[in-house]
């Protein structure tokens, strides 16, 4: 039986993003929070693997108490179990502190075959945790996957890496980083919602782990956020060209040259 763990994160809804100007951090309390969009694709990937090979899918998140609702949503989507890693000492953890905590969690779990993550989170967009966690656990990391098969204890995948097309094999356990292109997340059924609110969520805190003294999200995260800004929506300027077709083309060329776009491609030739 393949034991699959999907890492998810609850993030502030980007449409209602607010920033603490004094600390430079994102305000997470009292606003709507949602599952990070990339993580839905990781969940779908894990559920597809379960349907194909059998096994068990567990959603795991590290976050404040309100992150329980994100795990309920994962259960409604069809995962079998949920683990909530929650403790005040984990608050304000950067990617390194998050990795150290997750390493302790998986060292405690011990029995896992696949750890699946999305590409990045919308609240920080670093994309660092998959790479750091694979290094911390000393397991292979596979990214940019287009197809994947499991045969006994071997994962065989096709991936596009840069300009290369690669066929890669690795021995379980393996960490997989899944992009949005891979699948379309399923809809949640009413029965799934009912089952989700009846399910138990396993709680893990600092006392449950063999956590070293270096773990303290607030005091020992080496990353310091000095400023966070929400980018303003860019407003595009419209200009309608008048005249004959040749006059419009000439005007367009002049506009492009005015923006230092001097090459005009015509088939295989360019000017």
Q: What are the distances in angstroms from CA 4 to CA 8, 50, 114, 165?
A: 13, 8, 5, 26
Which tokens go with 33? 């929070």
Rounded Cα gap, residues 111 and 3, in angstroms: 7
Which tokens go with 236? 């595009």
**Which has the closest alpha carbon to 199: 77, 110, 85?**
77
Rounded Cα gap, residues 230 and 186, in angstroms: 30
pTM of the entire predicted model: 0.77
Annotate 195-228 with b (16+ C-beta within 10 A) or e (fewer). ebeebebeebebeebebeeebbbeeebeeeeeee
pLDDT tens, per residue, the chain with 271 residues:
899 999 998 887 766 666 666 655 666 666 777 888 888 999 999 999 999 999 999 999 998 888 899 999 999 999 999 999 998 888 878 888 888 999 999 999 999 999 999 886 766 667 788 899 999 999 999 988 888 899 988 999 888 877 788 899 999 999 999 887 778 888 888 888 888 888 899 998 888 887 777 777 677 677 766 666 666 666 777 888 889 999 988 888 888 887 776 555 555 554 4
Cβ pair 93, 123 in contact under 8 A:
no
Q: Which fold has domain 3-220?
A: Rossmann fold (3.40.50)
108 CB burial (10 A radius; 0-12, 13-18, 19+): exposed
Rounded Cα gap, residues 185 and 201, in angstroms: 22
H/E stretch holding 132:
helix 129-137
Tell me the domain boundaries of the chain. 3-220, 236-271
Q: Tell me the β-bridge partners of 58.
A: 5, 81
**β-bridge pairing 56-62 and 81-85:** parallel
Which tokens go with 91? 């608050």
Rounded Cα gap, residues 195 and 61, in angstroms: 19
Cβ pair 133, 102 in contact under 8 A:
yes
Q: How far is CA 179 from the centre of its chain?
A: 8
At residue 231, the 3 state secondary structure works out as: coil
User: Cβ–Cβ contacts within 10 Å for residue 138, how many?
Assistant: 8
């Amino acid at each position: 039986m393949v034991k699959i763990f999907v890492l998810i994160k609850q993030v502030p809804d980007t449409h209602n993003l607010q920033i603490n100007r004094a600390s430079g951090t994102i305000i997470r309390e009292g606003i709507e929070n949602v599952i990070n969009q990339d993580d839905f694709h990781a969940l779908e990937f894990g559920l597809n693997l379960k349907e194909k090979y059998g096994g068990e899918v567990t959603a795991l998140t590290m976050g404040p108490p309100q992150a329980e609702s994100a795990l309920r949503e994962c259960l409604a989507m069809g995962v079998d179990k949920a683990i909530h890693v929650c403790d005040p000492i984990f608050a304000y953890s950067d990617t390194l502190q998050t990795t150290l905590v997750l390493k302790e969690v998986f060292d405690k779990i011990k029995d896992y075959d696949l750890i699946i993550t999305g590409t990045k989170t919308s609240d920080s967009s670093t994309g660092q945790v998959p790479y750091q966690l694979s290094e911390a656990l000393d397991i292979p990391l596979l990214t940019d996957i287009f197809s994947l098969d499991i045969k006994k204890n071997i994962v065989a995948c096709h991936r596009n890496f840069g300009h290369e097309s690669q066929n890669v094999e690795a021995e379980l356990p393996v960490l997989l980083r899944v992009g949005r292109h891979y699948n379309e997340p399923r809809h949640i059924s009413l029965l799934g919602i009912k089952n989700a609110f009846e399910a138990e969520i396993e709680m893990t805190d600092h006392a449950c782990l063999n956590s070293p003294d270096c773990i303290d999200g607030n005091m020992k995260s080496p990353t310091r956020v000095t400023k966070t800004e929400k980018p303003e929506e860019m407003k595009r300027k419209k200009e309608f060209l008048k005249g004959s077709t040749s006059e419009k083309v000439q005007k367009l060329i002049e506009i492009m040259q005015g923006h230092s776009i001097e090459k005009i491609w015509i088939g295989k030739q360019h000017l």
